[in-house]
Amino acid sequence: MQFNTLAEPSYNDIAQYPVFPWILSDYSSESLDLSNPSSYRDLSKPVGALNPDRLKKFQERYASFDDPVIPKFHYGSHYSSAGTVLYYLVRVEPFTTLAIKLQGGNFDHADRMFSDISGTWNGVLEDMSDVKELVRELFYLPEVLTNENSIDFGTT
Protein backbone atom coordinates (compact mmCIF):
# COMPACT_ATOMS: atom_id res chain seq x y z
CA MET A 1 0.00 0.00 0.00
CA GLN A 2 2.90 2.39 0.68
CA PHE A 3 4.17 1.95 -2.87
CA ASN A 4 0.70 2.63 -4.22
CA THR A 5 0.29 5.70 -2.02
CA LEU A 6 3.57 7.17 -3.26
CA ALA A 7 2.77 6.39 -6.89
CA GLU A 8 -0.63 8.10 -6.56
CA PRO A 9 -2.65 5.49 -8.45
CA SER A 10 -6.36 5.87 -8.98
CA TYR A 11 -9.20 3.42 -8.57
CA ASN A 12 -11.08 5.74 -10.95
CA ASP A 13 -8.64 5.14 -13.83
CA ILE A 14 -7.88 1.54 -14.78
CA ALA A 15 -4.76 2.71 -16.64
CA GLN A 16 -3.37 3.87 -13.27
CA TYR A 17 -4.86 1.14 -11.08
CA PRO A 18 -3.00 0.19 -7.87
CA VAL A 19 -0.54 -2.67 -8.21
CA PHE A 20 -0.02 -5.48 -5.72
CA PRO A 21 2.80 -8.01 -6.03
CA TRP A 22 2.50 -11.73 -6.21
CA ILE A 23 3.32 -12.80 -2.64
CA LEU A 24 3.07 -16.57 -2.82
CA SER A 25 4.90 -18.81 -5.26
CA ASP A 26 3.33 -22.16 -4.40
CA TYR A 27 0.04 -22.70 -6.21
CA SER A 28 0.33 -26.44 -6.69
CA SER A 29 0.75 -28.00 -3.24
CA GLU A 30 -2.18 -29.75 -1.60
CA SER A 31 -1.41 -27.78 1.56
CA LEU A 32 0.39 -24.44 1.76
CA ASP A 33 3.18 -24.29 4.32
CA LEU A 34 3.49 -20.62 5.27
CA SER A 35 6.58 -21.37 7.39
CA ASN A 36 8.48 -22.55 4.30
CA PRO A 37 10.39 -19.67 2.65
CA SER A 38 10.02 -21.33 -0.77
CA SER A 39 6.25 -20.77 -0.52
CA TYR A 40 6.88 -17.07 -1.10
CA ARG A 41 7.93 -15.09 -4.15
CA ASP A 42 11.30 -13.35 -4.01
CA LEU A 43 10.21 -9.71 -3.67
CA SER A 44 13.75 -8.45 -4.30
CA LYS A 45 13.26 -9.21 -8.01
CA PRO A 46 10.76 -8.00 -10.59
CA VAL A 47 8.38 -10.63 -11.96
CA GLY A 48 10.42 -10.88 -15.15
CA ALA A 49 13.50 -11.94 -13.20
CA LEU A 50 11.94 -14.70 -11.09
CA ASN A 51 12.67 -17.43 -13.63
CA PRO A 52 16.44 -17.48 -14.41
CA ASP A 53 15.93 -19.01 -17.87
CA ARG A 54 13.35 -16.42 -18.84
CA LEU A 55 15.51 -13.60 -17.41
CA LYS A 56 18.38 -14.75 -19.62
CA LYS A 57 16.09 -14.54 -22.68
CA PHE A 58 15.01 -11.02 -21.68
CA GLN A 59 18.65 -9.99 -21.31
CA GLU A 60 19.58 -11.54 -24.66
CA ARG A 61 16.70 -9.76 -26.37
CA TYR A 62 17.78 -6.47 -24.79
CA ALA A 63 21.41 -6.92 -25.83
CA SER A 64 20.58 -7.85 -29.41
CA PHE A 65 17.77 -5.34 -30.01
CA ASP A 66 18.83 -2.66 -32.46
CA ASP A 67 16.22 -0.28 -33.80
CA PRO A 68 16.83 3.33 -34.84
CA VAL A 69 13.45 4.44 -33.47
CA ILE A 70 12.49 2.09 -30.63
CA PRO A 71 14.73 2.18 -27.55
CA LYS A 72 15.98 -1.10 -26.08
CA PHE A 73 13.65 -2.79 -23.60
CA HIS A 74 13.59 -5.87 -21.40
CA TYR A 75 9.85 -6.40 -21.20
CA GLY A 76 7.48 -5.94 -24.11
CA SER A 77 4.55 -5.37 -21.77
CA HIS A 78 3.92 -3.61 -18.47
CA TYR A 79 3.32 -5.13 -15.04
CA SER A 80 -0.03 -3.32 -14.96
CA SER A 81 -2.32 -1.89 -17.60
CA ALA A 82 -6.01 -1.43 -18.28
CA GLY A 83 -5.97 -4.85 -19.94
CA THR A 84 -4.38 -6.43 -16.85
CA VAL A 85 -6.96 -4.89 -14.52
CA LEU A 86 -9.82 -6.08 -16.75
CA TYR A 87 -8.19 -9.52 -17.09
CA TYR A 88 -8.49 -10.06 -13.34
CA LEU A 89 -11.76 -8.24 -12.69
CA VAL A 90 -13.86 -9.30 -15.69
CA ARG A 91 -16.32 -11.17 -13.43
CA VAL A 92 -17.44 -8.06 -11.52
CA GLU A 93 -19.06 -4.85 -12.72
CA PRO A 94 -18.22 -2.28 -13.93
CA PHE A 95 -15.21 -4.22 -15.18
CA THR A 96 -17.31 -6.75 -17.09
CA THR A 97 -18.76 -3.98 -19.27
CA LEU A 98 -15.35 -2.31 -19.66
CA ALA A 99 -13.79 -5.62 -20.77
CA ILE A 100 -16.47 -6.03 -23.43
CA LYS A 101 -15.83 -2.48 -24.66
CA LEU A 102 -12.06 -3.07 -24.73
CA GLN A 103 -12.58 -6.13 -26.94
CA GLY A 104 -14.84 -4.32 -29.41
CA GLY A 105 -18.17 -5.53 -28.07
CA ASN A 106 -17.32 -9.12 -27.12
CA PHE A 107 -15.33 -10.91 -24.47
CA ASP A 108 -11.81 -11.95 -25.38
CA HIS A 109 -11.30 -15.58 -26.44
CA ALA A 110 -11.98 -17.85 -23.45
CA ASP A 111 -8.45 -19.32 -23.60
CA ARG A 112 -6.97 -15.85 -22.96
CA MET A 113 -9.24 -14.92 -20.06
CA PHE A 114 -8.41 -15.22 -16.37
CA SER A 115 -9.52 -18.64 -15.20
CA ASP A 116 -7.26 -19.59 -12.31
CA ILE A 117 -4.49 -18.19 -10.17
CA SER A 118 -2.14 -21.15 -10.65
CA GLY A 119 -2.29 -20.93 -14.44
CA THR A 120 -1.75 -17.17 -14.34
CA TRP A 121 1.24 -17.59 -12.01
CA ASN A 122 2.75 -20.16 -14.37
CA GLY A 123 2.28 -17.73 -17.26
CA VAL A 124 4.03 -15.00 -15.27
CA LEU A 125 6.99 -17.35 -14.78
CA GLU A 126 7.17 -18.77 -18.32
CA ASP A 127 5.54 -16.51 -20.92
CA MET A 128 7.88 -13.87 -22.41
CA SER A 129 4.96 -11.48 -22.86
CA ASP A 130 3.55 -11.80 -19.34
CA VAL A 131 4.97 -9.79 -16.44
CA LYS A 132 1.71 -8.78 -14.79
CA GLU A 133 1.35 -8.25 -11.08
CA LEU A 134 -1.93 -8.45 -9.17
CA VAL A 135 -4.84 -6.19 -8.25
CA ARG A 136 -5.96 -5.70 -4.66
CA GLU A 137 -9.32 -7.38 -5.22
CA LEU A 138 -7.60 -10.76 -5.47
CA PHE A 139 -6.73 -10.42 -1.78
CA TYR A 140 -10.22 -9.80 -0.44
CA LEU A 141 -13.00 -10.13 -3.04
CA PRO A 142 -13.90 -13.77 -3.77
CA GLU A 143 -16.33 -12.71 -6.52
CA VAL A 144 -13.37 -12.10 -8.85
CA LEU A 145 -12.78 -15.86 -8.72
CA THR A 146 -16.37 -16.97 -9.27
CA ASN A 147 -19.00 -16.27 -11.89
CA GLU A 148 -21.74 -14.94 -9.59
CA ASN A 149 -23.57 -13.31 -12.52
CA SER A 150 -23.60 -16.51 -14.67
CA ILE A 151 -21.94 -14.72 -17.58
CA ASP A 152 -21.15 -16.76 -20.69
CA PHE A 153 -17.41 -16.29 -21.08
CA GLY A 154 -17.13 -19.05 -23.67
CA THR A 155 -15.39 -22.40 -23.37
CA THR A 156 -11.69 -23.15 -23.13
Look at residue 54 and tell me if it is in a domain: yes
122 inside domain: yes
Q: Is the sign of the CA dihedral 118, 91, 136, 6 positive or negative? A: positive
Count up the domains in the chain and report the number: 1
Task: For residue 128, give its domain range.
Answer: 2-25+38-88+114-144
Q: Are 62 and 111 in contact (CB under 8 A)?
A: no
> Do residues 143 and 26 lie in contact, with contact meaning Cβ atoms separated by under 8 Å?
no
On the question of pLDDT at 111 being above 80, the answer is yes
Residue 31 lies in a domain: no
Cα–Cα distance measured from residue 130 to residue 124, given in angstroms and rounded to the nearest whole number:
5
96 in any annotated domain: no
- CATH code of the domain containing 12: 1.10.1540.10
CA distance 127 to 120: 10
Beta-bridge partners for 20 = 134
pLDDT tens sequence across 41-54: 999 999 999 999 99
Residue 124 located in a structural domain:
yes
* pLDDT tops 70 at residue 1: no
Mean pLDDT score across all residues of the chain = 90
Render pLDDT for 55-89 as a digit per residue (tens, 0 to 9): 999 999 999 999 999 999 998 888 888 999 999 99
**pLDDT beyond 80 at 12:** no
Q: Is the pLDDT of residue 21 over 90?
A: yes
